[in-house]
Structure 1
Amino acid sequence: MDNLLAGLIGALLGLTGVALGGWLQRRGEHQRWLRDQKLRAAIDFIGATGAVYDRRRRLPSAGPTGTDEVAEWARAQDGRSALYLLCDEKTIEVAEALITRVRRIEPATNGSHDGEAISLLRDLVRRLRLELGAGLGK
C-alpha cells in the first residue's frame, strides 16, 4: 500500500510539473507575441506619422497628391488603433499628443522642424522602449 501511495504522489507531482511547465511556456510565448505586436504597431504608427509630418511641413506644391496624404493618415490611424489595443495608457497619451501636434503643423518655408513634435516623438519612443523592455537607451 505504501508503494502505491508513493507511486501516486510521484505521478501527481510529475503531472503538476508538466502542467506548470506548459503554462509557463504558453505564458512566455504569449508575452513574445504581444511584444512583437506592439513593436509592429509602433513601427507602423511612427513611420506613418513621420510621413504625414514631412508632408505637412512641405509646401503644398512640393509633393504628391492629396490621395497619398489620405493613405498616410489611414496608415497612421491603423497604427494608432493597434497602440490603443496593445499599449498602456501613458504610451497612448503620448501617441495621441504626437498625432494631435502633427495635425496642427503648418508648412515651413525655411525647412525648420517643429521642436514640439520632435520632442513628443522622442517621448513616444522612450515609452515604447519601456513597454517593450528595451530600456531607455539613446
Structure 2
Amino acid sequence: MQNVLTVAIGACFGLIGVVFGSWFTARRQDRMWLREQKLKAGVGFNTAAGQLLDYLRQEQVADGGVGANELVGRMQEARSALYLLCAGDTVDLADALARRVWKAQPTDSSEDHNETLDLLRRFTHQLRQEIARP
C-alpha cells in the first residue's frame, strides 16, 4: 500500500511539472509571436512611410516603384497592425508620423524634412524598445 501511495505522489508531482512546463512554454511562444508580429508591422510601416515620403517629395522611389495609393495602403495596413499589437506611445508616434508624411510636399524645407525624419527615428526607437521588453 505504501508503494502505491509513493507512486501516486510521484505521478502527481510529475503531472504538475508537465502542466507548469506546458504553461510556461505556451506563454513564451505567445510572447515570441507577439514580438515577431510587432517587428513585421513596424518594418512594413517604416518602409511604406519612407517610400511614401520620398514619393510625395518627388524623390526617386526604387526601380519598379509603386504608386502613392499602394504605399498609403501598405502604411495603413501596417499601422492597423500596430494599433492592435503595440502600446499607446508607439501608436501615438505612428499616428504623428503618418500625419506628417501625408502632409509632405516637394516644396517642404529641409528643416521640415529633417523633422519628419526625426519623427521616423523616434518611432523606430520606441518600437525597438517595445519589442525588446520581456
Work out whether the TM-score is over 0.5.
yes
- Sequence identity (%): 39
Secondary structure of the structure 1 residue equivalent to 2:104: coil
Give the CA deviation at 1:56. 1.2
Matches within 5 A, 1:27-106: 27-58=27-58, 68-106=67-105
Partner Cα separation in structure 1 for residue 8 and residue 44 of structure 2: 54
Give the CA deviation at 1:91. 0.3
Give the CA deviation at 1:46. 0.5
Give the CA deviation at 1:3. 2.5
Q: Counterpart of 2:93 in structure 1: which amino acid?
A: V
Q: Could you report, residue by residue, the CA deviation over 1:29-68 in whole angstroms, capped at 9, with x for unpaired residues?
A: 1111111111110111010011111111127xx88xxx81
Q: Counterpart of 2:75 in structure 1: which amino acid?
A: A
Superposed CA RMSD in Å reads 2.2
Give the CA deviation at 1:4. 2.2
2:125 aligns with 126
Give the CA deviation at 1:132. 1.1
Q: Could you report, residue by residue, the CA deviation over 1:75-126 in whole angstroms, capped at 9, with x for unpaired residues?
A: 100010010011111100001000011111111488x461221111111111
Give the CA deviation at 1:6. 2.0
Number of aligned residue pairs: give it. Answer: 129
Runs of 4+ more than 4 Å apart: none
Q: Could you report, residue by residue, the CA deviation over 1:3-28 in whole angstroms, capped at 9, with x for unpaired residues?
A: 32222111101000011111111111
Check whether the contact 1:58–1:108 (CA below 8 A) recurs between aligned residues: no
Partner Cα separation in structure 2 for residue 43 and residue 108 of structure 1: 27
* Unaligned ranges ≥5, structure 2: none
- Are 1:18 and 2:27 an aligned pair? no
Partner Cα separation in structure 2 for residue 33 and residue 51 of structure 1: 27
Q: Counterpart of 1:25 in structure 2: which amino acid?
A: T
Partner Cα separation in structure 2 for residue 71 and residue 82 of structure 1: 17
Q: TM-score, normalised by structure 2?
A: 0.86
* Unaligned ranges ≥5, structure 1: none
